[in-house]
Structure 1
Amino acid sequence: MLAYSLSSLAAGVGVKSIAPTRHSELLPRAEVEALGIVWKGNSSSETSHDSLAELTSYPDDFTWCDKDGVNYCTPSLNQHIPQYCGSCWAHGSLSALADRIKIARKAQGTDIQLSVQHMLNCGNAGSCHGGSLDGPYQWIHSQPAGISYATLQPYMACSAESKEGTCAHGDWSCTPMNVARTCGTFGQECVGLSHFPNATIAEYGHISGARAMQKEIFARGPIACTIDAAPIEKYTGGIATQRSFMTDHVISVVGWGTCPKEGLYWIVRNSWGEYWGEQGYVKVKSGALALEQACAWATVQDFTAPERHNQYACFEDGSNCDASKPGADTPPAKEGAMLGKLHEALGGGL
Structure 2
Amino acid sequence: MSRADTKKIVLILTMLLIITSTMNVIGQITNNSYEEVIIKDDIENNLDTMQIINNDDLEIYKQEIVNECGICGEENLGYPVMTDMPPESERPMNKMISTPKATIDRDDLPSQFSWKDYNGDWTTPVKDQAYPVYCGSCYIFGTWAAFEAAINIASGYPTTDIDLSEQYGLSCINAGCNGCGGGWGSTMIENIVSTATGSSGNGINGVPLESCMPYTATDYIPCDDKCPDWDYHTDPILDPDDILWQIADWGWTSAFNYNNPNDWVTIKSWLMTYGPLAVTMAWDNGIQNFVDTYHNPTDVYQVDSSGSTNHIILLCGWVDDDSILNGGYWILKNSHGTVQGYGGFCNLAYGCNRLASSECSWIIAEEWPEEEQGEGPVNPVEAVFSNFDYNTEDGAKCPHPDEIIDFQDESRGPVVLWNWDFDGDGEWDISGMGHHQQNPEWTYDSEGTYQVTLEVWGSGGLSNRLTKTVQVKDIWPPVAVSKPDYYGGKDNEIYFDGRYSYDPDGSITSYIWDFNGDGTIDSTQPYYTYTYPDQNGEYEATLTVYDQEGASNTVTIPVKIDKTVPPVTKVIAGCVDQAQDLWFNSKVMVELQSTDWSGLSRFNYKIDNGDWQQKYCQGELDYSFSFYIKTPGVHNIQYYAKDIIGNIESTKTSSIGIDVNNPTMNCVLKGDKNTEGVYITPVEITINANDAESGVKTITYKIDTGDWIEYTAPFTINQGGSHIVNIFVIDKAGNTVNDAFTVKLEYGPSIPKISGPSSGKPNNEYTFSFTSYDPENNQVAYYVDWGDGTNTGWSSYVNSGKTLSYKHTWTEEKSYTIKAKAKDSNGAESDWATQTISLPKTKYFMFQRFLNNFPVLQKLLSLAFFQKLIKI
CA distance in 2, matches of 1:121, 1:139: 12
Q: State the TM-score, normalizing by the size of structure 2.
A: 0.28
Instruction: Give the 3 Å change call, closer, same or farther, for CA 271–303 of structure 1 in structure 2.
Output: farther
1:61 is matched by which residue type in structure 2? Q
CA distance in 2, matches of 1:298, 1:117: 21
Q: Does 1:151 find its partner at 2:200?
A: no
Which residues of 2 match residues 1-350 of structure 1 at below 5 A? 24-25=81-82, 27-30=84-87, 33=89, 36-38=90-92, 41-43=93-95, 50=101, 52-67=103-118, 69-107=119-157, 110-124=160-174, 125-143=177-195, 144-160=204-220, 172-175=221-224, 177-178=225-226, 181=227, 191=228, 193-195=230-232, 196-207=243-254, 208=256, 209-230=263-284, 231-234=286-289, 235=291, 236-237=293-294, 238-245=299-306, 246-262=308-324, 263-302=327-366
Quote how far apart the aligned CAs of 1:265 are: 0.3
Instruction: Compare the two structures and name the one with the higher helix fraction.
Output: 1
Instruction: Compare the two structures and name the one with the higher strand fraction.
Output: 2
Quote how far apart the aligned CAs of 1:285 are: 0.2
CA distance in 1, matches of 2:194, 2:97: 17
Residue pair 1:25, 1:87 contacting (<8 A) in 2 also: yes
Residue pair 2:154, 2:367 contacting (<8 A) in 1 also: no
3-state SS in 1 of match to 2:157:
coil
Quote how far apart the aligned CAs of 1:50 are: 4.1
1:5-56 deviation digits (Å, cap 9, x = unpaired): xxxxxxxxxxxxxx989785064453x54xx533xx3526689x64734333
CA distance in 2, matches of 1:256, 1:118: 31
Quote how far apart the aligned CAs of 1:199 are: 2.2
Quote how far apart the aligned CAs of 1:194 are: 4.7
Instruction: Give the 3 Å change call, closer, same or farther, for CA 226–243 of structure 1 in structure 2.
Output: same
Residue pair 1:224, 1:251 contacting (<8 A) in 2 also: yes
Residue pair 1:205, 1:296 contacting (<8 A) in 2 also: yes
Instruction: Give the 3 Å change call, closer, same or farther, for CA 60–3 of structure 1 in structure 2.
Output: farther
3-state SS in 1 of match to 2:319:
strand
CA RMSD of aligned residues (A): 3.1
Instruction: Give the 3 Å change call, closer, same or farther, for CA 54–142 of structure 1 in structure 2.
Output: farther
1:105-128 deviation digits (Å, cap 9, x = unpaired): 122663112211100111223311
Structure 1: segments with no counterpart, 5+ residues: 5-18, 161-171, 182-190, 310-350
CA distance in 2, matches of 1:62, 1:115: 29
Aligned pairs, number:
265
Instruction: Give the 3 Å change call, closer, same or farther, for CA 152–243 of structure 1 in structure 2.
Output: same
CA distance in 2, matches of 1:173, 1:307: 38
3-state SS in 2 of match to 1:128:
helix
Q: Percent identity?
A: 24
CA distance in 1, matches of 2:212, 2:77: 39
CA distance in 2, matches of 1:111, 1:223: 17
1:124-147 deviation digits (Å, cap 9, x = unpaired): 233112122321112112133311
Residue pair 1:63, 1:256 contacting (<8 A) in 2 also: yes
CA distance in 2, matches of 1:306, 1:78: 34
Instruction: Give the 3 Å change call, closer, same or farther, for CA 26–264 of structure 1 in structure 2.
Output: farther
Instruction: Give the 3 Å change call, closer, same or farther, for CA 281–109 of structure 1 in structure 2.
Output: closer
Instruction: Give the 3 Å change call, closer, same or farther, for CA 264–85 of structure 1 in structure 2.
Output: same
Instruction: Give the 3 Å change call, closer, same or farther, for CA 46–132 of structure 1 in structure 2.
Output: closer
Residue pair 2:140, 2:169 contacting (<8 A) in 1 also: yes
Quote how far apart the aligned CAs of 1:205 are: 1.8
Quote how far apart the aligned CAs of 1:220 are: 1.6
1:125-171 deviation digits (Å, cap 9, x = unpaired): 331121223211121121333111212112111102xxxxxxxxxxx
CA distance in 2, matches of 1:153, 1:304: 24
Residue pair 1:87, 1:129 contacting (<8 A) in 2 also: yes
Instruction: Give the 3 Å change call, closer, same or farther, for CA 276–247 of structure 1 in structure 2.
Output: same
Quote how far apart the aligned CAs of 1:305 are: 7.7
Residue pair 2:80, 2:134 contacting (<8 A) in 1 also: no
